[in-house]
Amino acid sequence: MLSREILRDHTSSSYAALSGWSYIPTGAEIALWDQMELEGRLKRKGYRPWTDQRADPFRLDHMEGTRQRRERLERRKHLQDTFHISN
């Protein structure tokens, strides 16, 4: 039950780690990106840089094999399903 309460905060480190975010945005940054989307200044609707997997400088895609990557993604998917996290 405690983990559910922790994961309700979408700006927490736990939520960011399970969601695969490259960093945790500040409230001001979230507001900035929401405003830019409302003004139509974004090319892709719903784009947020912290959710962009290509922007993560610490990603393991280039360092791990296909099997390890698949297993890691399956573990992450299991945790997301367990804690009802949607990206």
Q: Which two structure tokens, joined as six digits, stand for 15?
A: 């939520």
Domain housing 61: 2-82
- On whether residue 87 sits in a domain, the answer given is no
Q: Give pLDDT, residue 32.
A: 93
Q: What is the pTM of this model?
A: 0.56
Is 16:85 a contact under the CB 8 Å cutoff? no
Examine residue 31 and state whether it is found in any structural domain, yes or no: yes
Number of domains in the chain: 1
pLDDT in tens, 71-87: 888 999 999 999 888 76
- Please name the residues in contact with 7: beta carbons below 8 A apart, sequence gap of 6 or more: 14, 15, 18, 83, 85
Domain assignment present for 10: yes
Q: Could you report the per-residue pLDDT of 3-48, keeping only the tens digit for each?
A: 777 788 888 888 888 887 878 888 899 999 999 999 988 888 888 8
C-alpha distances in angstroms, 77 versus 19, 43, 70, 72, 83? Answer: 9, 28, 10, 9, 10
Neighbours of 44 (CB within 10 A): 8
